[in-house]
Amino acid sequence: MFGLGGQELLLILLIILLFFGPKKLPELARSFGKGMREFRKAQEELEREISKAVETPEPYQKSNPAPAAATKEDAKDVASTETVNDRS
């Protein structure tokens, strides 16, 4: 566990016991356990959401391309062209 051996864990527990005292130790252990449960619950929920998103892809939506914007030059070209009816 994190590269810690038995001696290191025992030393850490001894320091915690000296720092907080024997009366606070059960309360700290409960708080730590509750925090770990909440963390695991959130982790499982996140994994579930990710797998759900991967398994059910969003439906394909066909998009309509926007019409090309006409420039002033295009408008001049259209206005200046003669039609067959204009020549007669």
pLDDT at 79: 55
**For 68, phi and psi rounded to 5 degrees?**
-70, 140
Number of compact structural domains in the chain: 1
Tens of pLDDT, residues 39-81:
999 999 999 999 988 887 667 777 766 556 556 666 566 556 6
Tens of pLDDT, residues 4-45:
888 998 998 889 888 888 888 889 889 999 999 999 999 999
Question: Residue 49: inside a domain, yes or no?
Answer: yes
Q: 32: domain range?
A: 22-57
Question: Residue 46: inside a domain, yes or no?
Answer: yes
User: What predicted TM-score, i.e. pTM, was given to this entire model?
Assistant: 0.46
Question: Residue 36: inside a domain, yes or no?
Answer: yes
Question: Residue 28: inside a domain, yes or no?
Answer: yes
Question: Residue 26: inside a domain, yes or no?
Answer: yes
DSSP output for 45-86? HHHHHHHHHHHSPPPP-PPPPPPPPPPHHHHHHHHHPPPHHH
Question: Residue 68: inside a domain, yes or no?
Answer: no
